[in-house]
Amino acid sequence: MLAKAKQGDASAQFKLGVKHDFGQGVAKDDKQAVYWYQKSAMQGHAPAQYNLGVMYANGRGVAKDDKQAVYWYQKAAMQGHALAQFNFGGMYDNGRGVAKDYKQAVYWYQKAAMQGNALAQYNLGVMYANGEGITKDDKQAVYWYQKAAMKGLVESQFNLGNMYRNGRGVAKDDKQAVYWYQKSAMQGYASAQNNLGLMYENGEGITKDDKQAVYWYQKAAMQGNATAQNNLGFMYANGRGVAKDDKQAVYWYQKASMQGDTTAQNNLGVMYANGRGVAKDDKQAVYWYQKAAMQGNATAQNNLGVRYEYGQGVIEDDARAVYWYQKAAQNGNKSAQKNLAYMLANGDGIKRSYRLSKMWQLLAQYNGADTKELSRWLNNKLSKNQLSQIPKLANQCLNSNYIHCQ
């Protein structure tokens, strides 16, 4: 083979490059791999061009150079090399070595997908699902996810499960969602393991089974999936599918919180506020509520408002309480809407307004909060004419997604 390679045989040069690349029968040597790939690639050998692109993309045996990677991927892709077409599309998708161009990414993913490349089929599904570089089309997304899922690609199996669960591009079918989550979860895909746990917890598409939910949450949590860590903490906190254990709940909430999971941060705040699984600490409760609130978690925003209203773990400050109640209320939190209504009714931290108080009371009631007592009190403060205008005001607020609420 070496003799043929030295004589200029492109196939032999490629094979010799592979041997050095993977240490097959010779010492693994990236520089030698690059040397022989280049020799072969210069003669138009598509697999060598592709492999040379990979070496440049990863800085193996040569200085990392995305532009050179693009150059060689393109050479191979133009000859119909499916992996090169996929990688070339990926460079356009991510703007590596070339200006980001979703249309070009789609074009090359399609080329590779039509040849049966599972990764390209999956990526093409993502492009259709998100409407990137092509008109958004959930049915086409499902089509390509199915293609890749049938080949065993875990990411595609998971996404296909999501499409069935949410009824996107296909009739909603929780049993099919479970089927594909199981396929992916059994291969160790953490996101699928978490979602399979959810299906067991809620009895969606499968018989409700908290022990199985815990099993799959643990699988995903051990891999560092923050959502699963929070879910596992919840199961421990409530003794569902596992013996109630507040310390374990705190442990998993902390794991997820450190990764920025806002639900876990709020839950951890609750544990500190109530001294469950950890020493009661109002300042730590505020700390974690604030972490979640700053990221837009409505429950945490309301909880933080309560802390400011009553001076728990923080100096009492009605204006700050109102600020956080407003944030949470505008995010649709019914408790915050009720709390804001009370602040407006009493003029605490904000100018008193029975009109706006009634509007928020009505919205809180609409969202399921018990506001009968406040409603009766406000009805005595407003005229019939004023009361008749409140539903229109509330609808305006609701229909504007809580933007126009004055």
pLDDT for 181 equals 99
d(CA 365, CA 132): 40
Q: Which residues does 239 contact at the CB level (< 8 Å), separation at least 6?
A: 245
Q: Is the pLDDT of residue 5 over 80?
A: no
Query: Given pLDDT bands bounded at 50, 70 and 90, which one contains residue 171?
Result: very high
Q: What is the DSSP letter of 132?
A: S
**Rounded to two decimals, what is the model's pTM?**
0.91
Q: Is the pLDDT of residue 164 over 80?
A: yes
Half-sphere exposure of 7 toward its Cβ, with a 13 Å CA cutoff? 7
Mean pLDDT of the chain: 97
CA angle, residues 19, 23, 64, in degrees to nearest 5: 85
Proportion of the chain above pLDDT 90, given as a percent = 97
pLDDT for 57 equals 98
CA distances for 77 relative to 66, 85, 87, 97, 99, angstroms: 16, 5, 9, 16, 18
* Chain-centroid distance, C-alpha 87: 24
3-state secondary structure of 350: coil
pLDDT (average), residues 350-361: 97
Angular region, 260: left φ>0, alpha ψ -120 to 50, beta rest: left
Exposed/middle/buried for 87, CB within 10 Å: 0-12, 13-18, 19+? buried
Q: By 3-state DSSP, what share of the chain in percent is helix, strand and coil, each rounded to 5? A: 70, 0, 30
Half-sphere exposure of 302 toward its Cβ, with a 13 Å CA cutoff? 18
d(CA 369, CA 329): 12
pLDDT (average), residues 86-111: 98
d(CA 237, CA 30): 52
Q: Render pLDDT for 222-272 as a digit per residue (tens, 0 to 9).
A: 999 999 999 999 999 999 999 999 999 999 999 999 999 999 999 999 999
Angular region, 20: left φ>0, alpha ψ -120 to 50, beta rest: alpha
Q: Which residue has the tokens 């374990």?
A: 248
Query: Given pLDDT bands bounded at 50, 70 and 90, which one contains residue 72?
Result: very high
Q: Render pLDDT for 327-344 as a digit per residue (tens, 0 to 9).
A: 999 999 999 999 999 999
pLDDT for 174 equals 99
Please report, as a single letter, which amino acid is at residue 29. D
Q: Kindly report the backbone phi and psi dihedral angles of residue 64, in degrees, each rounded to the nearest multiple of 5, phi listed first.
A: -55, 130
